[in-house]
């Protein structure tokens, strides 16, 4: 099918468990760089993005499969009304694939979705052991996935409707599609799920070597496969740079539950009203501020912190302050293009962290750290805490405590992307975050 038939269809991106729309930033840039109109690229933030432990039991701060699907349905309805289009394309990662399948197969979305692309889908569960929390939406032996996976025709296809389906998976490096339960707290126990768990019978199933769970959606290789599927030809560009850019996004808070899901904290995607943000341009070699704040804002009920007219050649520090949180200094490499999904949230300091001079968090939201594959360095060291050779990729955030008292520069490098920031005194309630974009 030619791009002429598809380039004006709106796309809705559906994030995964515990995540937000911010993870689609580089994917949206790639679509824009290859001619897809920016006003047809839509993201959504699920208010409570974490799945319930048991889908049939209400749980504070978490959403059921029915609630998740309703958020998606409402978004599709709004996009169709706004654009006048008759159909959308849905692209989802991980848990987002559950909502997509549920909407198309059970929620009336079959005629409204022309194409569905799911990266790292938990289609056959993160485990499929009968009797082991069958009420979880991530149980391959549970009711939710069993009804979705029930054969839809004589060929045994697991897809439904006239929608064209594609899945993207890793060959063996997806933390949630492993024969061993290491990443789900069951080390040494068989999960009854194979590396091919993210595939769907009847779909076009694409396998990309060595990519991790998040890279099944957010990597250049995943974009290339998606674009090829939608248009019939390869993309011409990766990400093209704009000289003058405008940035915006939302500030979210953290939930009260200290347990973490996937990469950090019990989170919600609700505006953190009353938080304050200051943005500083920084020296790319030292992380030092280049003068006074270039943007300041107080977060209101809609959560937005911008817009901010920025320079695509400049690096920035985002300083977040809010009651009940640490003063969080987020360092980012230059932004290649405009974006309205530069979401962020302040961190909290544990009591034990306040005894150290400074705490540095290095995070990669759109992928994991893989010692077998990646060239990386943090504060001059190639040994990254918790990241060891010989294991599949499963950690996207690391913390290091530093005992030196004077403020100093701290550097991180990951496959060519370089970040520089400053340490800040943890005893005074400050945290440094080095956040990778790619």
* Closest alpha carbon to 247 in 172, 321, 183, 311: 311
Whether the bond between 307 and the residue before it is cis, its omega within 30 degrees of 0, is yes
**242 contacts: CB under 8 Å, gap ≥ 6:** 312, 336, 337, 338
Is the predicted pLDDT of residue 262 greater than 70, yes or no?
no
Among residues 162, 197, 231, which one ends one of the domains?
231
Q: Which residue has the tokens 């499963």?
A: 394
Is the predicted pLDDT of residue 259 greater than 90, yes or no?
no
Task: List the structure tokens of 423.
Answer: 């340490």
**Mean of the pLDDT values across residues 109-129?**
98
pLDDT, position 111: 97
Are the CB atoms for 33 and 41 separated by under 8 Å? no
Task: List the structure tokens of 171.
Answer: 């060959």
Measured CA angle at 113 (ends 47, 76), to 5 deg: 30
Please, which pLDDT band fits residue 7 given cuts at 50, 70 and 90? Answer: low
Model confidence over 191-220: pLDDT tens digits? 999 999 999 999 999 999 999 999 999 999
Is the predicted pLDDT of residue 256 greater than 80, yes or no?
no
pLDDT, position 352: 87
**Mean of the pLDDT values across residues 66-94?**
98
Terminal Cα distance for the chain, rounded: 30
Domain count, the chain: 2
- Say whether both 290 and 427 belong to one domain: yes
Strand order in the sheet with 376-378: 376-378, 409-414, 417-422
pLDDT, position 217: 98
Is the predicted pLDDT of residue 347 greater than 80, yes or no?
yes
- Say whether both 281 and 317 belong to one domain: yes
- Say whether both 304 and 388 belong to one domain: yes
* Closest alpha carbon to 120 in 225, 190, 202, 11: 225
Model confidence over 31-43: pLDDT tens digits? 999 999 999 999 9
CB environment 164-195: b (16+ within 10 A), e (fewer): bbbbbbbeebbbbbbeebbbbebeeeebbbeb
- What CA–CA distance (Å, rounded) separates 222 from 220? 5
- Say whether both 206 and 256 belong to one domain: no
CATH of the domain at 51: 3.40.50.1820
Domain encompassing residue 163: 3-231
The three state secondary structure string of the chain is CCHHHCCCCCEEEECCCCCCHHHHHHHHHHHHHCCCCHHHEEECCCCCCCECCCCCCCCCCCECHHHHHHHHHHHHHHHHHHHCCCCEEEEEECHHHHHHHHHHHHCCCCCCEEEEEEECCCCCCCECCCCCCCCCCCECCCHHHHHHHCCCCCCCCCCCCCCEEEEEEECCCCCCCCCEEHHHCEEEEECCCCCCCCCCCCCEEEEECCCCCCHHHHCHHHHHHHHHHHHCCCCCCCCCCCCEEEECCEEEEECCCCCCCCCCCCEEEEECCCCEEEEEEECCCCCCECCCCCEEEECCCCCECCCEEEECCCEEEEEEECCCCCEEEEEECCCCCCECCCCECCCCCCHHHHHCCEEEEEECCCCCECCCCCCEEECCECCCCCCCCCCCCCECEEEEEECCCCCCEEEEEECCEEEEEECCCHHHCEEEEEECCC
The answer to the question of residue 135 being in a domain is yes
Residues 247/250/251/254 CA torsion (nearest 10 deg):
-140
- Say whether both 204 and 303 belong to one domain: no
**36 contacts: CB under 8 Å, gap ≥ 6:** 7, 11
- CB atoms under 10 Å from CB of 53, counted, come to 13
Model confidence over 268-295: pLDDT tens digits? 999 999 999 999 999 999 999 999 999 9
- What CA–CA distance (Å, rounded) separates 384 from 369? 9
**Mean of the pLDDT values across residues 210-236?**
97
- What CA–CA distance (Å, rounded) separates 399 from 381? 13
- Say whether both 300 and 202 belong to one domain: no
- Say whether both 210 and 338 belong to one domain: no
pLDDT, position 47: 97
- Say whether both 181 and 271 belong to one domain: no
pLDDT, position 266: 67
- Say whether both 213 and 250 belong to one domain: no
- Say whether both 210 and 252 belong to one domain: no
**148 contacts: CB under 8 Å, gap ≥ 6:** 98, 101, 102, 105, 106, 123, 158
* Closest alpha carbon to 63 in 77, 52, 75: 52
The answer to the question of residue 237 being in a domain is no
**Mean of the pLDDT values across residues 371-396?**
93
The answer to the question of residue 239 being in a domain is no
pLDDT, position 2: 41
pTM attached to this predicted model = 0.95
Are the CB atoms for 361 and 347 separated by under 8 Å? yes
Is the predicted pLDDT of residue 325 greater than 90, yes or no?
yes
Among residues 172, 199, 231, which one ends one of the domains?
231
CATH of the domain at 312: 2.60.40.2190
Are the CB atoms for 400 and 379 separated by under 8 Å? yes
- What CA–CA distance (Å, rounded) separates 144 from 102? 9
- Say whether both 287 and 143 belong to one domain: no
The answer to the question of residue 278 being in a domain is yes
- Say whether both 148 and 291 belong to one domain: no
Are the CB atoms for 392 and 178 separated by under 8 Å? yes
């Amino acid at each position: 099918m030619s791009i002429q038939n598809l380039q004006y269809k709106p796309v809705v991106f559906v994030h995964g468990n515990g995540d937000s729309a911010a993870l689609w930033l580089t994917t949206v840039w790639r679509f824009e760089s290859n001619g897809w109109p920016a006003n047809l690229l839509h993201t959504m933030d699920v208010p409570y993005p974490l799945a319930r432990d048991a889908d049939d039991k209400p749980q504070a701060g978490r959403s059921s499969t029915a609630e998740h699907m309703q958020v998606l349905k409402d978004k599709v309805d709004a996009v169709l009304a706004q654009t006048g289009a008759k159909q959308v394309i849905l692209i989802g990662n991980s848990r987002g694939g559950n909502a997509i399948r549920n909407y198309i197969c059970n929620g009336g979305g079959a005629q409204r979705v022309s194409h569905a692309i799911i990266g790292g889908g938990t289609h056959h569960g993160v485990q499929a052991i009968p009797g082991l929390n069958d009420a979880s939406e991530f149980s391959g032996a549970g009711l939710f996935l069993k009804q979705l996976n029930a054969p839809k025709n004589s060929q045994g296809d697991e897809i439904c409707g006239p929608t064209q389906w594609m899945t993207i998976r890793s060959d063996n490096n997806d933390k949630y599609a492993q024969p061993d339960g290491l990443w789900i707290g069951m080390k040494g126990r068989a999960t009854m799920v194979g590396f091919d768990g993210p595939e769907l019978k009847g779909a076009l199933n694409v396998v990309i070597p060595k990519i991790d769970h998040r890279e099944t959606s957010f990597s250049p290789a995943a974009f290339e496969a998606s674009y090829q599927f939608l248009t019939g030809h390869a993309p011409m560009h990766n990400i093209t740079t704009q000289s003058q850019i405008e940035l915006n996004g939302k500030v979210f808070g953290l939930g009260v539950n200290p347990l973490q899901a996937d990469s950090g904290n019990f989170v919600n995607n609700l505006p953190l009203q009353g938080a304050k943000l200051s943005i500083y341009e920084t020296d790319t070699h030292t992380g030092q501020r280049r003068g006074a704040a270039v943007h300041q804002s107080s977060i209101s009920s809609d959560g937005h912190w911008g817009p901010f007219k920025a320079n695509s050649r400049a690096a920035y520090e985002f300083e977040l302050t809010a009651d009940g949180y640490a003063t969080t200094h987020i360092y980012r490499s230059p932004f290649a293009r405009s974006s309205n999904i530069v979401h962020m949230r302040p961190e909290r300091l544990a009591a034990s962290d306040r005894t150290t001079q400074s705490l540095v968090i290095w995070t990669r939201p759109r992928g994991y750290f893989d010692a077998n594959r990646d060239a990386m360095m943090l504060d001059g060291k190639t040994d990254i805490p918790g990241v060891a050779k010989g294991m599949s990729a499963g950690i996207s955030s690391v913390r290091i405590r530093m005992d030196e008292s004077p403020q100093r520069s701290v550097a991180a490098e990951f496959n060519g992307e370089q970040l520089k920031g400053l340490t800040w005194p943890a005893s005074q309630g400050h945290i440094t975050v080095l956040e990778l974009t790619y």
